[in-house]
Amino acid sequence: MGSIAAMLEQAKDRSHPLLERLRFLCITSSNLDEFFEIRVAGLKQQQVYGAAQSGPDQLTPTEQLKLVREATVQLVSEQYRVLNEILIPELESEDIRFLKRDNWNQRQAQWVRRFFNRELVPVLSPIGLDPSHPFPRILNKSLNFLVSLEGTDAFGRESPIAIVQAPRSLPRVIQIPESATNGPNDFVFLSSIIHAHVKDLFPGMEVTGCYQFRVTRNSDLYVDDEEIKDLAEALEGELQSRRYGDAVRLEVAAECPAHMVEFLMHEFNLAEDDIFACQGPVNLARLMQVPELATRNDLKFPRFNPAYPKRLQQNKNFFEVIKRGDLLLHHPFQSFLPVIEFLRQAARDPQVLVIKQTLYRTGADSPITEALIEAARNGKEVTVVVELMARFDEAANIELATRLQEAGAHVVYGVVGHKTHSKMILVVRREGRLLRRYVHLGTGNYHPRTARAYTDFCLFTSDHAIGLDVQKIFHTLTAPGRVTKLRKIIHAPFTLHKTVLELIEREAANAQAGKSGRIIAKMNALVDVTVIQALYGASRAGVKIDLIVRGVCALRPGVEGVSDNIRVRSIVGRFLEHSRIYYFHNDSDPEVFLSSADWMGRNFFNRIETCFPIEDRRLRSRVIKEGLNNYLADNTRAWTLGVDGTYTRATPSNLRPRDAQQYLLDMLSDAAT
């Protein structure tokens, strides 16, 4: 949960624009949702099955859940404090207001009533609980209201409790038209509108209370690798059940009476430790639309234009450019458009025979998909490995696979039991008597939207050995057979773990021999015990190690006699740090790799991953400068992991402030607009 807490700190950081701070607050809420849907749900399952102590800390699931509860209570309390005491007052000072129903003037109240009658009444279905109206099924993370009533209805029934489910078709924050209020940026919560007029839903009854609640459910999908015959069909069935998985968390309005909370606990089969009181909207993530709606660009990050590579500006023929030398892009500072254009040119080039691509997250209606469909319709041999098990994108990927198949592309779902997480494009082109392979490899997803928000590297190359390696990897994904040896690419689940250990141990051996030993690695998570032990051994041998880890890091730096030579930092800023870079000094002949894999057991053993070398000296220097040294120099957005497991924010002190992401924006992107 450290990364969620670090994100919350960004909401308090006044060096960020105000509406971006609100956005950071929303991200903490959505990240916490996923943490409960997957991680806490997994711990609860282990608890039910009586799992024993596990992991380096040797904590039982029950002990871990207790610690999660304590940390979450503090985090949630701080979330609402930041919202209510900091962000809302500061937004109000900038004339961006969330209007409370007690403060509506006559014009605002009239507009709200019209909105309620026009937009809400036709779609609301209040349910009074009685023998013929049991407690309804509550959708995962949906907004609901528990209403207490007195009196009898037209049939003489007494229904002391009713449920009102907020319609999913409406946003949770409504912007009031300027004609009906005092300014262009006045908002009202959907929950406030329902609260104000809930009595209209129960004519003749007295509403004595109305309280928001939201339940979070286990959203991890399970398919039996040995039983399924069609992965897409099995997943479609699981997706339906995800909405109503076992409850793992209940959020309720802080003012909800204890007996009403107990009623909900009973209905969802939850304990007191699963309940979290909210001092405001029960789903802070839904405030994400406010920065988009507010007409205050001065309170948002300045817009920027990702730069288009000069080589491609001078020569628009991708194949000629790549043939003359490798091309490296650093997103989002450099444009993602070349990746799309590469596919478009391949789809339209009569000399291109084959296109193969892995897709993890992209979207069924993305330009990547359209280019692949165009290629298939143009008679190219198009093979797409669609990873259906990309968490929370399963439905979109099933739709994507269907569209591609209808266009005539060959679609496979990788290897059951191993997620296809590598990012690869292979284009085979006839050039005279030769068939030349052009390859794109990346650390991120083929998703234009995340390419604007995530930091990632990608490489275009026509290197013969890499092209053959990628061809072999695709063959293992589409056809049965033994794994053949690769020449340059390191490949999970087969060689990546072993090679990483060998590279670490080589640095340790060099240090013990009196040579310089140096490791720098950047990734999203570091939890693999064997790798951590190898890093400890390298540290004891005298290797200087810097780790840039955005999320979970199970390694403890600075432990005397164990990890004295290891430093760990995390960068939290405007963009989500997503690139994976491994640097090994190799006795002054550095080796640099880019990868799709974090140093986690699941990446090493349960996923298809690629790790590829950057051999061009100029490009290798770029990766070291932009992706590693730049982040080690950050003294503004960096958080340093201490020996006690807590993070401390770096401060410039007497040094010149250095923001790694802003440095890259200034250096790589076109002028801000």
CB under 8 Å to 12, separation ≥6 — which residues?
Answer: 21, 82, 86
DSSP β-ladder status, 454-461 and 576-577: parallel
| Residue 627, CB-side half-sphere exposure with 13 Å CA sphere | 33
Which residue reads 């979070």 in tokens?
A: 216
| Residue 446, CB-side half-sphere exposure with 13 Å CA sphere | 34
Cis peptide before 306 (omega within 30 of 0): no
Backbone angles phi, psi at 307, to 5 degrees: -75, 145
Cα angle 90, 93, 99; round to 5: 90
**CA 217 to each of CA 91, 147, 398, 488: distance values in angstroms, whole numbers, following the listed order:** 33, 22, 22, 43
3-state secondary structure of 513: coil
Contact 210, 282 (CB under 8 A): no
CA distance 660 to 520: 16
**CA 584 to each of CA 127, 386, 501, 516, 620: distance values in angstroms, whole numbers, following the listed order:** 63, 33, 12, 11, 12
Residue type, 195: H
Residue 269 has a CB neighbour count (10 Å cut-off) of 9
Residue type, 58: Q
Residue type, 604: F
Residue 184 has a CB neighbour count (10 Å cut-off) of 15
Instruction: Give the chain's end-to-end CA distance (angstroms, integer).
Output: 35
CA distance 5 to 95: 28
DSSP structure class, residue 645: S
CB under 8 Å to 347, separation ≥6 — which residues?
Answer: 355, 371, 372, 374, 375, 378, 380
DSSP β-ladder status, 410-412 and 381-386: parallel
* Catalytic hit among 330, 421, 440, 578: 421
Closest CA to 309 of 292, 321, 291, 323: 321
CA distance 104 to 99: 7
Contact 352, 380 (CB under 8 A): yes
CB under 8 Å to 2, separation ≥6 — which residues?
Answer: 551, 552, 570, 647
Backbone angles phi, psi at 274, to 5 degrees: -90, 0
CA distance 569 to 564: 15
CA distance 402 to 399: 5
Closest CA to 544 of 571, 492, 504: 504
| Residue 242, CB-side half-sphere exposure with 13 Å CA sphere | 19
CA distance 194 to 545: 56
Task: Report CA torsion sign: 359, 363, 364, 368.
Answer: negative
CB under 8 Å to 363, separation ≥6 — which residues?
Answer: 369, 396, 400, 447, 449
DSSP structure class, residue 147: E
CA distance 224 to 453: 35
Helix, strand and coil in the chain, % to nearest 5: 40, 25, 35
Structure tokens at 436: 């030349």
**Is 421 marked active-site?**
yes
Which residues have a catalytic role annotated? Answer: 421
